[in-house]
């Protein structure tokens, strides 16, 4: 996808996923973050003959997919057992297929290894400055004439440097700051047990013998509830409106996203009304297990 075709010198863009193609009018490019998006942006800049410099605040690439046993402030955090819910066929870079020996749905360690192979194959590592934080991005005083940006960085040793770039791509990711709305839980200040956000969760071992309630039925909530049920005395899930729960593998064993997200499916969505696909999808999901029976059926359509 060409997200920056209309860029002029001095453009700034925030990328959370995908690959960009930048006009050759831009020469020196700052890339903030060395996660999947940052790596693909560095690679695309090199393909277009640009001069990328990537600043990564941590000591390694991978962003979200770099697991750490202890969550670090201002960084995304994942749990020990996390497996991606998108198949390797759908998530891989188009010019660098995932190794055939890797499972369809990869553990976070496999994704990190894949990103390392990508960076090494396309020689991206020399362009990445690790343990270097970006403190500010400002237009230069002569921005109206040059379209350039001043980027202030700070290394681990505390040394600050100012760099000048023709463009800046922000690939700093999300899921960085946990949202823990304690004000919505009256009496929480006197609760004798432990409460935590999924950002702090690493594994279910601490749940042994406890009664646990998981608030939310998203991907993380579902994973944590299932894991905790193997250790806890009892696990409850609290969901505001239910959810349509689907499995990762289709009837013929193919990854469900690879089976359904095709050009043919796209054409069908143009030919038939949305209500038809909602009916068909709900019928298929209820064939696996009746959502009403398990108190999962939501009020919204699929």
What pLDDT is attached to residue 253? 86
What domains lie within the chain, and their CATH numbers?
A: 12-170 (3.50.50.60), 182-238 (3.50.50.60)
The 10s digit of each residue's pLDDT in 54-64 is: 999 999 999 99
Asked if pLDDT for residue 2 goes beyond 50, the answer is: no
Token code pair at residue 212: 């646990």
Model confidence at 250, in pLDDT bands (50, 70, 90)?
confident
The 10s digit of each residue's pLDDT in 9-36 is: 555 565 555 545 444 455 999 999 999 9
The 10s digit of each residue's pLDDT in 182-193 is: 999 999 999 999
Helix (H, G, I), strand (E, B) or coil at 269: helix
pTM of the entire predicted model: 0.86
Asked if pLDDT for residue 221 goes beyond 90, the answer is: yes
Asked if pLDDT for residue 49 goes beyond 50, the answer is: yes
Q: Report how far residue 221's alpha carbon sits from residue 193's, in angstroms, rounded to the nearest whole number.
A: 19
Helix (H, G, I), strand (E, B) or coil at 263: helix
Model confidence at 269, in pLDDT bands (50, 70, 90)?
confident
Token code pair at residue 2: 């060409």
């Amino acid at each position: 996808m060409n997200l920056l075709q209309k860029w002029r010198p001095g453009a700034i863009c925030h990328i959370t996923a995908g690959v960009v193609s930048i006009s050759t009018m831009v020469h020196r490019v700052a890339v903030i973050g060395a996660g999947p998006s940052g790596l693909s942006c560095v690679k695309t800049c090199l393909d277009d003959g640009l001069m990328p410099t990537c600043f990564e605040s941590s000591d390694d690439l991978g962003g979200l997919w770099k697991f750490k046993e202890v969550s670090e402030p201002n960084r995304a955090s994942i749990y020990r057992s996390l497996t991606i819910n998108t198949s390797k066929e759908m998530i891989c870079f188009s010019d660098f297929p995932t190794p055939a020996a890797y499972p369809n749905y990869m553990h976070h360690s496999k994704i990190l290894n894949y990103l390392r192979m990508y960076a090494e194959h396309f020689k991206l590592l020399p362009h990445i400055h690790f343990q270097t934080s970006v403190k500010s991005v400002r237009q230069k005083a002569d921005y109206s004439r040059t379209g350039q940006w001043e980027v202030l960085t700070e290394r681990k040793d505390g040394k600050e440097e100012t760099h000048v770039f023709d463009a800046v791509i922000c690939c700093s990711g999300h899921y960085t700051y946990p949202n823990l709305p304690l004000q919505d839980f009256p009496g929480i200040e006197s609760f004798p047990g432990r409460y935590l956000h999924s950002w702090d969760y690493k594994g279910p071992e601490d749940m042994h013998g406890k009664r646990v309630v998981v608030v939310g039925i998203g991907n993380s909530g579902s994973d944590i509830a299932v894991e905790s049920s193997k250790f806890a005395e009892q696990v409850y899930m609290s969901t505001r409106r239910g959810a349509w729960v689907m499995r990762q593998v289709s009837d013929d064993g193919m990854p469900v996203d690879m089976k359904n997200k095709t050009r043919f499916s796209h054409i069908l969505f143009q030919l038939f009304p949305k209500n038809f696909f909602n009916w068909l999808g709900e019928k298929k999901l209820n064939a696996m297990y009746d959502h009403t029976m398990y108190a999962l059926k939501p009020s919204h359509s699929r």
